[in-house]
Amino acid sequence: MKIVITGVSKGLGRYLAIELLRLGHDVWGISRKEREHSEIKNLFQYPNFIYSACDLTSESHISRFAEEIAGRNFPVDVLVLNAALMGNDYVNGVWDFEKFREIMEVNFMGAANLTAKLLPSFQQREKGIILGISSISSIRALLMDKIAYAPSKSALNMMFESLRLQLGYSYPGIRFITFNPGPLEQRDQIFSSSYSHIGRKIISIIENNKYKDIYTYPLMSSIIYKVFQLIPDRFIARYIIQPRRKHKEKQK
Ligand SMILES: NC(=O)c1ccc[n+]([C@@H]2O[C@H](COP(=O)([O-])OP(=O)(O)OC[C@H]3O[C@@H](n4cnc5c(N)ncnc54)[C@H](OP(=O)(O)O)[C@@H]3O)[C@@H](O)[C@H]2O)c1
């Protein structure tokens, strides 16, 4: 299969790229890093790897990338929207709105822009998978010091829902899948999963073209977050967020 993955320079995107390349798929990766960067150079050991440096906040970068894809005869079977920023935009009682904007630009607008640019080729071929790596934070905004992250991911999920509803009848062969992982590779979080654990699940969805629209994984994180949906915000702010903030401040 011909697969485009955003955010291949590290983390889950890098894991997915390497595993899919090993399985013999053609992978076209993007991230902001130049191709000479060691993390990227390394991936060229696989002859089926193609790369473009592309900043998802830049209209001109995304347009150039879409032109490159069209010019190189790379009919995309699977688009994995994985790149994201997870930084803190609420620090020491101050909402950093520029940071907020940047997170929304990468996680939501950049993913939407790239999808819009590549969608016509999926429509022409009437098949393919567009897979959004979202987050369990789209269900409940529990992460410390973050305002943008949860809405950037819930907006992404709703965009996928709209795409399913608007295109589902005319293009039943195009699958719009959202994948909501719980915490990844985080020692301070209970029920954190490894990139390989989550990555393998995603690869099995891609390879077996499974027929579910939304995956929330692993099950335990999904249950915990659903329970947290029932707890009032005021309670969480007082008994979970605030004590954690105090604990963090003490540790400084
Ligand atoms: N880590 C977690 O605990 C967790 C939990 C649930 C869901 N997720 C989701 O899982 C996905 C992968 O997470 P991860 O932990 O692997 O993240 P990560 O290690 O921070 O990697 C993020 C990737 O996105 C790329 N990226 C960031 N800004 C970009 C931009 N403007 N243009 C193009 N690429 C950009 C980065 O590349 P450059 O910096 O080189 O551009 C990097 O390759 C994300 O969608 C994340 O939201 C993560």
What is the rounded distance in angstroms from the CA atom of residue 204 to the CA atom of residue 211? 12
CATH number for position 15: 3.40.50.720
How close is the Cα of 10 to the center of ligand 1, in Å? 7
What is the rounded distance in angstroms from the CA atom of residue 119 to the CA atom of residue 70? 12
How close is the Cα of 195 to the center of ligand 1, in Å? 12
Mean pLDDT, range 90-115, rounded to an integer: 97
pTM: 0.96
How close is the Cα of 234 to the center of ligand 1, in Å? 30
Check if 29 has its Cβ closer than 6 Å to any atom of ligand 1.
no
Question: What is the band of 41 on the pLDDT scale with cuts at 50, 70, 90?
Answer: very high
Q: Tens of pLDDT along 171-202? A: 999 999 999 999 999 876 678 889 999 999 99
Check if 180 has its Cβ closer than 6 Å to any atom of ligand 1.
no
pLDDT > 70: what percent of the chain? 99
Computed over every residue of the chain, the mean pLDDT equals: 95
Q: Tens of pLDDT along 211-226? A: 799 999 888 889 999 9
Check if 83 has its Cβ closer than 6 Å to any atom of ligand 1.
yes
Residue 158 is predicted with a pLDDT of: 98
The CA dihedral of 188, 189, 190, 191, to the nearest 10 degrees, is -130
Q: Which two tokens stand for residue 139?
A: 């269900």
Residue 22 is predicted with a pLDDT of: 98
Check if 104 has its Cβ closer than 6 Å to any atom of ligand 1.
no
Q: Which domain holds residue 69?
A: 2-251
Number of domains making up the chain: 1
How close is the Cα of 170 to the center of ligand 1, in Å? 32
